[in-house]
Amino acid sequence: LPHDEEDVHMAVESELGKRLGAVAARLHTARSRNDQIALDLRLHVRDRGAELLRAVATLLASLAERGARETETLLPAYTHRQRAQPISAAFLVASWGVGLARAADTVVFALDQLEMPLGSGACSGTSLPIDRALVARLFAPWEPTRNALQTVGDRDFALDFTWSVARVMLALGRMATDLVDFATSEFALVKLDGAIAAGSSMMPQKRNPDVFELVLRKSARSVGHVVALLALMKGLASGYNRDQQEDQLPLLEAGPLALGCVRVVELALPHVTFDRERGARALDEGFTQATDLAEALVRRGVPFREAYKAVGRLVALAVDEGVPLRAVGEAKAQAIHALLDAHALEALDPKTAVAAKESIGGTGPRAV
């Protein structure tokens, strides 16, 4: 800024004076720094929100394309960090996409809340015959804000935006957690190629998921932005207060942080490969199809509670014998329940189990 100007607003007026002459002195008519700051911050939210939505849309398209290629890749779903039921990798990828799309909806909401503050003045409007609605329509187009005192002290739009950014980052973080876990030797459900896997300075065997670890932890910063703004605005008096300038660090960092993480995940995902053999072995080793077997009995008229108990006894038998559920055999299964015959036991095939779940939101191919 020129050293003799008080702030950026006066610097703009001064520069316009050099270019346009005396008419520039009319620039601040019915305006205050307060409503101009309120406008600048809203414009920042509008632009950063639009950028973020474009990036999220690109990532969602990539996830949809990736899911379409993974319908035949099977692996366990997890609840309580325990193997639960068979799913397709397409279903897992779709779950990431749904979470991200719902987060993007909150960004849309934040942008829809934006209103035009110009003309609010310092805190009470103006006696001059201005047309705020015309300015709002020409400039944004938005609706004009409804109360000048509230407008100049309002940071609800900043809270909405930082909250929506945090939602995007939380969605990315959950995806990143899955990939960090699944890349370990304990899960071994995905492989990372050398383009994104970092090595160790001491252990030559290591292939570390640094990209996804960093995305996961940067989501904590987004949560911090929301908390910082909540703490800043808590208990503030009406109107503008100078300490509100502390809104700028969390607000100005929020959008670029999320945008960078979305783009990094977009670049990294093509270098992640699902291990189909490992996924199949994980399903063969345990009891993830137990619910599917119970539902097979239900489809034949057995009450669910009875089917649940029968399959529970079959699982207990498999545990005692130290074999997977599929290895117990028809004779022992029918000794527990007469309808646990070869036809019912077909439900223990992971492919059959996945293909059967065509309810809305299920892991069946058409549902996905």
Around 124, how many Cα atoms within 13 Å sit in the side-chain half-sphere? 1
Tokens representing residue 184 in the block: 């370990």
- C-alpha angle 38/142/9, rounded to 5°? 30
- Rounding to the nearest 10 degrees, give the CA dihedral for residues 307, 312, 317, 323: 100
Of 3, 80, 201, 359, which one is the catalytic site residue? 80
> In Å, what is the CA distance from 107 to each residue of 48, 180, 316?
10, 27, 49
185 flagged as catalytic: no
Q: Which two tokens stand for residue 262?
A: 């979305």
Residue with structure tokens 């101009």? 36
- φ, ψ dihedrals at 205, nearest 5°: -85, -10
Q: What is the CA radius of gyration of the chain?
A: 29
Counting other chains too, the contacts that 292-299 makes at CB distance below 8 Å and 24 or more residues apart are 292/85, 292/86, 292/347, 292/348, 292/352, 292/353, 292/356, 293/325, 293/340, 293/344, 293/345, 293/347, 293/348, 295/347, 295/356, 296/343, 296/344, 296/346, 296/347, 297/337, 297/339, 297/340, 297/344
Can you point out the beta strands (E) in 4-113? 74-79, 82-88
Q: Which of 124, 200, 238, 343 is catalytic?
A: 200
- Phi first, then psi, for residue 71 (nearest 5°) are -70, -25
For 56-76, letters b (16+ CB in 10 Å) and e give beebbebbeebbeebbebbbb
Say whether 284 sits in a helix, a strand or coil: helix
In the chain, at which residue ranges do the beta strands (DSSP E only) sit? 74-79, 82-88, 190-192, 272-274
Q: Is 219 tagged catalytic?
A: no
Active site residues: 80, 200
